[in-house]
Structure 1
């Protein structure tokens, strides 16, 4: 039996509402998740139908990962998502994220990912990490802006739809976290 995810709470920031992602978000996110450029750095190839994406999102909550749809406050149209899953060693979570190209450059990814990190550290996680392709410069910039530290390179780590790829591991410890999604700065501590 697969472990089930902890409940996915709704998170709010100054400009965003992050709510549990579900099959209904497939329509809003299909254009992005069918786009080869947007999906280049994902381990999953672009989706070929809304139905396939809807089925993928329907599996949310069946395993230990949780996924939040990113919406602008007052709107219910998903413009991206953040996902997080615990690792077997306990106290450690991995994150992933995707944003629709039409809303990039506005700080939405940073605000949304920060909200999820804040949630994870508030739940008692001691470390959050992300695994990104060395050529995914936008993701690397985001992680570094949030305070993540490059911890290493895993050579030939992923067999993906674009071939075998290396992976960069970026990590952030709870006592290093100093950004709060509300715009207020925290100073250390979980």
Structure 2
């Protein structure tokens, strides 16, 4: 299930975002301090869905938080970008695919015409997930992102409402 974040999510959010394997291809460093996680979760819970900028959906399974899906709404509300994070214990079970598909359905129903995504080229699981959802690989930026002390390649993906 996808839903809004709530205060009760802080401990689980801190735990999976602090896992070095989960954070490996992400823009944050592990561990995530609980105070920082508390501020992030409070901001997620208070955010306005559909407003320009990032909106994070909590991904819940059996009553517990197992990850999140973020949508960055463009100011024109016809373009968006998607990102996702799932706790390592829940990876490989199709939960991310299901959660991202649900969020995509939601944003396309709200009038978005195109959703983009990018991932570290070494993150083959994320690239496969995007392709499974119908995203087309649109580019490969060589040594584009400075991440955790090294230059990394980015893969670019896109999905239109017609797709």
What is the TM-score when the length of structure 2 is the normalising length? Answer: 0.88
Give the aligned length.
Answer: 158
- 2:9 is matched with which residue? 25
Is the alpha carbon distance of 1:115 and 1:52 closer, same or farther for their aligned partners in structure 2, counting shifts above 3 Å? Answer: same
> TM-score, normalization: structure 1?
0.76
Partner residue, 1:53: 37
Gaps of 5+ in 2: none
CA distance in 1, matches of 2:34, 2:105: 32
RMSD over aligned Cα, in angstroms? 1.8
Does the Cα contact within 8 Å between 1:23 and 1:55 map onto a contact in 2?
no
Following TM superposition, where does structure 1 have runs of at least 4 consecutive aligned residues deviating by more than 4 angstroms?
A: none
Q: Which residue of 2 aligns with 1:64?
A: 53
Q: Whose helix fraction is larger, Structure 1's or Structure 2's? A: 2
User: Comparing both structures, which one devotes a greater share of its residues to strand?
Assistant: 2
User: Is 2:84 aligned against 1:97?
Assistant: yes
Conserved 8 A contact 2:53-2:74: no
Deviation at 1:43, TM superposition (A): 1.1
> How far is 1:163 from its partner?
2.5
- 2:104 paired residue among 85, 110, 117: 117
Cα distance in 1, alignment partners of residues 86 and 137 from structure 2: 22
The answer as to whether partners of 2:21 and 2:88 remain within 8 angstroms in 1 is: no
Question: 1:44·1:160 contact (CA, 8 Å) conserved in 2?
Answer: no
Q: 1:66 to 1:149 in 2, by over 3 A?
A: same
